[in-house]
Structure 1
Amino acid sequence: MADDDITRPDPEDDAELAFEGALRPKSLTEFVGQTKVRGQLELLLRAAALQGRTPDHVLLAGPPGLGKTTLAMIVAHEGNRPLRMSSGPAIQHAGDLAAVLSSLVPGEVLFIDEIHRMARSAEEMLYLAMEDFRIDIMVGKGAGATSIPLELAPFTLVGATTRSGLLPNPLRDRFGFTAHLEFYDEQELEEVLRRAASLLDIDIDREALAEIAGRCRGTPRIANRLLRRVRDYALVHGKPADLETVRAALDLYDVDSLGLDRLDRAVVETILKRFGGGPVGLSTLAVSVGEEADTIESVVEPFLVRVGLVTRTPRGRIATPEAWQHFGMTRHTDGLFDA
Structure 2
Amino acid sequence: MPESEAELAFEGALRPKSLTEFVGQPKVRGQLELLLRAAAMQNRTPDHILLAGPPGLGKTTLAMIVAAESGRPLRMSSGPAIQHAGDLAAVLSSLLPGEILFIDEIHRMARSAEEMLYLAMEDFRIDIMVGKGAGATSVPLDLAPFTLVGATTRSGLLPNPLRDRFGFTAHLEFYDDADLERVLTRAARLLDLDISSSAVAEIAGRCRGTPRIANRLLRRVRDYALVHGTGADLEAVRGALELYDVDPLGLDRLDRAVMDILLTRFDGGPVGLGTLAVSVGEEAETIESVVEPFLVRIGLLTRTPRGRVATPLAFRHFGVERSSGPFLTDVL
- Identify the TM-score tier after normalising by the shorter chain: over 0.9
Alignment partner of 1:332 is 2:320 = no
Could you say which residue in structure 1 is the equivalent of 2:187? 196
**Cα distance in 2 between the residues matched to 1:15 and 1:95:** 37
SS at match of 1:19: helix
Shift of 1:142: 1.8
Aligned with residue 275 of structure 2, among 284, 302, 320? 284
Shift of 1:144: 1.2
User: Residues 128-165 of structure 1, C-alpha deviation per residue, up to 9 Å, x if partnerless?
Assistant: 00000010001011221111110000000000000100
Q: How does 1:257-268 map to 2 (within 5 A)?
A: 257-268=248-259
| Partner secondary structure for residue 140 of structure 2 | strand
Letter in 1 for 2:205: G
Match of 2:123 among 132, 136, 157: 132
Contact 2:24 2:179 (C-alpha < 8 Å) held by counterparts: yes
Aligned residue number for residue 121 of structure 1: 112
* Counterpart check, 1:308 vs 2:308: no
In the TM superposition, what is the alpha-carbon distance from 1:250 to its structure 2 partner?
0.2
Q: How many residues align?
A: 326
Aligned twin of 2:89:
98
Distance 2:8 2:48 in 1: 32
Percent same amino acid at aligned positions? 84
With structure 2 as the length reference, what TM-score do the two structures score? 0.96
- 1:224 and 2:215 aligned: yes
Within 5 Å, give how 1:1-339 maps onto structure 2: 9-10=1-2, 14-333=5-324
Residue 20 of structure 1, CA deviation: 2.8
Check the 8 A contact 2:203/2:237 in 1, yes or no: yes
Report Cα offsets for 1:180-217 as digits up to 9, x if no partner. Answer: 00000000000000000001101001000000000000
Offset at 1:328? 1.2
Shift of 1:13: 6.5
Is the CA contact (8 Å cut-off) linking 2:74 and 2:99 kept in structure 1?
A: yes
The one-letter amino acid of 1:137's match is I
Q: Give structure 2 stretches of 5+ with no counterpart.
A: 327-332
The more displaced of 16-25 and 59-68 is 16-25
Structure 1 gaps of 5+ residues are: 1-8
Amino acid at match of 2:309: I
Alpha carbons of structure 1 residues 172 and 16: separation in structure 2 relative to 1, 3 Å: closer
Give the CA deviation at 1:14: 5.0
| Equivalent-residue separation in structure 2 for 1:27 and 1:279 (angstroms) | 47
Q: Distance in 2 between matches of 1:17 and 1:143?
A: 52
- 2:329 alignment counterpart: none
Deviations 1:263-311 (A, max 9, x none): 0000001000000111111111111101111110111000000000000
SS at match of 1:212: helix
Cα RMSD (Å): 1.2
